[in-house]
Structure 1
């Protein structure tokens, strides 16, 4: 299993957000991994383990909403998080609850 997973849910429709492009970058903005959410809105990214440091997940929300003909205020959503030495061995799950004009995230399990 990869060290990092995400789950994108479309709060406006109440269904998983399928086909959302997701990129994982490190503190130097170097691409670590990329994926596209599956039929359940889920994606696994990255190596088996992330070194301690700051990372960002960027979700391609404009293309997702455009496919449905829905206007959105956020063309992309970037969630920045930090992996600590103490948390380096833990699985990380970063869900995104998405709508055309709002989003929310949290550290999942």
Structure 2
């Protein structure tokens, strides 16, 4: 089995996948003590990115952060928001400790809150 990192986003305010939402993946570098951008993708109509964010070639042990641009998503959906919006970019920080397993990081969003968990 080879490891990979995947994600998907569900908009619980409408009960549907969150399509066309920008996601950034960052990896912490202990050398520079900063995060370095790994990849940037948009979700598809199913609320997923096409392909894995990390796969057998790019999967590395370390600390990561996913940035979900939910403020722009809700703006494009025509959802009335405060200025600035209550939720703009949702960060999810997590660690990868095994290159050989599947890490799945789902995000459930609504204009006033979000939740995440380690999926399968």
TM-score, scaled to structure 1: 0.90
Q: 1:90 to 1:2 in 2, by over 3 A?
A: closer
Question: For 1:23 and 1:47, how far apart are their aligned partners in 2?
Answer: 16
The structure 2 residue matched to 1:55, chosen from 52, 61, 64, is 64
Total equivalences in the alignment: 107
**Cα shift at 1:47:** 4.2
Name stretches of at least 5 consecutive residues in structure 1 with no aligned partner.
none
Name stretches of at least 5 consecutive residues in structure 2 with no aligned partner.
29-33
Max Rg structure: 2
Question: For 1:2 and 1:30, how far apart are their aligned partners in 2?
Answer: 21
What's the RMSD between the two structures over aligned residues?
Answer: 1.6
Question: For 1:60 and 1:89, how far apart are their aligned partners in 2?
Answer: 29
Higher relative contact order (CA 8 A, sep 6+): 2
Q: What are the superposed Cα offsets for residues 2-21 of structure 1, whole Å, 9 maximum, x if unpaired?
A: 82111100000000000000
**Cα shift at 1:29:** 1.3
Q: 1:75 to 1:63 in 2, by over 3 A?
A: same
Q: Which residue of 2 aligns with 1:7?
A: 8
Do the aligned residues in 2 keep the contact of 1:19 with 1:38 (CA within 8 Å)? yes
**Cα shift at 1:55:** 0.1
